[in-house]
Structure 1
């Protein structure tokens, strides 16, 4: 039996309980997403139709069911998946073996340090890719399940839904795995590595979300004051403000007046002619998803390469 297969079996046995917990978590979230997409979405549709039918009545009590609550919980769970991966990877993937001396024992029994790390990364990466992709597909199914999309449903551009509905979640899990591996190799202590990995992953994922709207050129729409901000709340907003007579885009002056006409006169005194909104429409969804995913995968590759460099230097 090759040393690679021995290392893979040892890695599986060492982390089998983490795999069991992850499988239970994926099964639970997946099952709840199917429930949300089925009976809960149907009840929400019936409730919304009843609300539209009785909107003219002075009293109208409608039961929308648990769709919105369950959808919100499952979306939050999807967004937290990379943080859970980071916590496990930082505490268990490399730091624990280095702290306990298990890694050194493996290296003296025919498993090279680089092969040891390769197996440590490859097996969890495969599991994460398959399971996270499955959950993303189920989440998109639950999000699209309600038939009446004019109801009070979560829009595609809302941050949690945006990421839970696409491959950025999968890439975020892989990036968190790479952060944990590198942190463990550098710190070599379980608890400090756990805390550092979670913090670093949160910063990394937050930075990726902040950069996301700037990875593709947005569109800008301009309209008269009476129409309000064009395109507002229809996509990923980058900026909005006032258009001047010279065509410049500036922040809208503050107006505390309760009369809209008074505010319009104020805007006109500042040279304003209308409002503008710079945003990403629905047609930019997949370009934004794929560019953000590519960014996270590049970071993952760099972190993985850095892990091998650190291990090589420390083991000779």
Structure 2
């Protein structure tokens, strides 16, 4: 068993931040207790049957309602997780030691600067990824019950990250960016703030553009005063819906009355001959291709940040 024990700078890092590791473990256990307890509470009230053999939660099932509420907040916490990881790596793990000069003690123990940084990043990565995977497992425990309901669609923020590979990639990016910013700034609070801003910006940009990675699926149909509005297939993500003029121009919206066509803001546009209606959506089958594309982009950014971090370290501590 002694061969499995941590040694050298890895042991020092774990020993130095053991309270943070214990706190992280306690958070995972608490989350499991809450979601698991709510699942048990939810199971106490049987579902009710509706037509075509479907079952839905009873309106008296307070356990289900509370589980949905908890999962919505869990989703928000999942999105914030990479920011917290990056801030910790940039601040307490890297910048604080450079700011106080305590890293010099490690360098006097026949440890190279690269090994010093590598040990810290390897240890923090293992802890962060392990905690992330456990939280994703807990999320899945609640997701199998409430997934697909309002605010918990597979494409919603939080649900999307926690049910695929993207969240792990963002955590790895946060570790790499935190190391780079900590080495560059060398001031604890400033490094934490900058890292949170950088990781948050990446989350916002990719979150806004992820549904442009793959082309939408379009369905069309006739459009007149008697036509019904096209309906999206089950579990799809609606992107846009509207009318197509005789000239081929798209008008998002539907008829305000029997003649005019509505604009995006709901007002009616001047009458124009309408040829058909359209509906753009992403089917559920686009989930994993989108996840893998986004994961690849984030991992590439993480690799660049990690490479830059070691270059900065070598330049300042040859």
Shorter-chain TM-score: which interval?
0.7 to 0.9
Question: Counterpart of 1:290?
Answer: 292
1:39-188 matched pairs, under 5 angstroms:
39-42=40-43, 46=47, 49=48, 62-65=60-63, 66-145=66-145, 154-188=152-186
Q: TM-score, normalised by structure 2?
A: 0.82
Q: Match of 2:54?
A: none
| Number of equivalent positions | 298
Contact 1:230–1:275 (CA under 8 A) maintained in structure 2? no
2:19 is equivalent to residue 17 of structure 1: yes
CA RMSD across the alignment = 3.0
In structure 1, the partner of 2:258 is 261
* Conserved? CA contact 1:253–1:267, under 8 Å: no
The answer as to 2:283 corresponding to 1:281 is: yes
Structure 2 unaligned segments of length 5 or more: list them: 1-5, 52-57, 263-267
More deviation in 177-186 or 70-79? 70-79
Q: Measured at CA, do residues 314 and 143 of structure 1 come closer, stay the same or move farther in structure 2, by a change above 3 Å?
A: same
Q: Does 1:191 align with 2:193?
A: no
Counterpart for residue 252 of structure 2: 252
| Residues 290 and 117 of structure 1: CA distance in aligned 2, closer, same or farther (over 3 Å) | same
Structure 1, unmatched stretches of 5+, are 54-59
Cα distance, 1:196–1:45 mapped onto 2, change above 3 Å = farther
State the match for 1:227 in structure 2: 228
Q: Is the 8 A contact 1:184 1:193 kept in 2?
A: yes
Could you tell me how far apart the structure 2 residues matched to 1:243 and 1:158 are? 28
Aligned to 1:236: 237
The C-alpha deviation readout for 1:99-124, integer Å capped at 9, x for no partner, is: 01011221232111111111111111
Pair 1:94–1:251, CA change in 2 (3 A): farther
- Per-residue CA deviations over 1:55-112 (Å, capped at 9, x if unaligned) read xxxxx97344312211212222222211221221221121011001011221232111
Post-superposition offset of 1:153: 7.4
Distance 1:290 1:45 in 2: 38
**Pairwise CA distance, 1:246:** 3.8
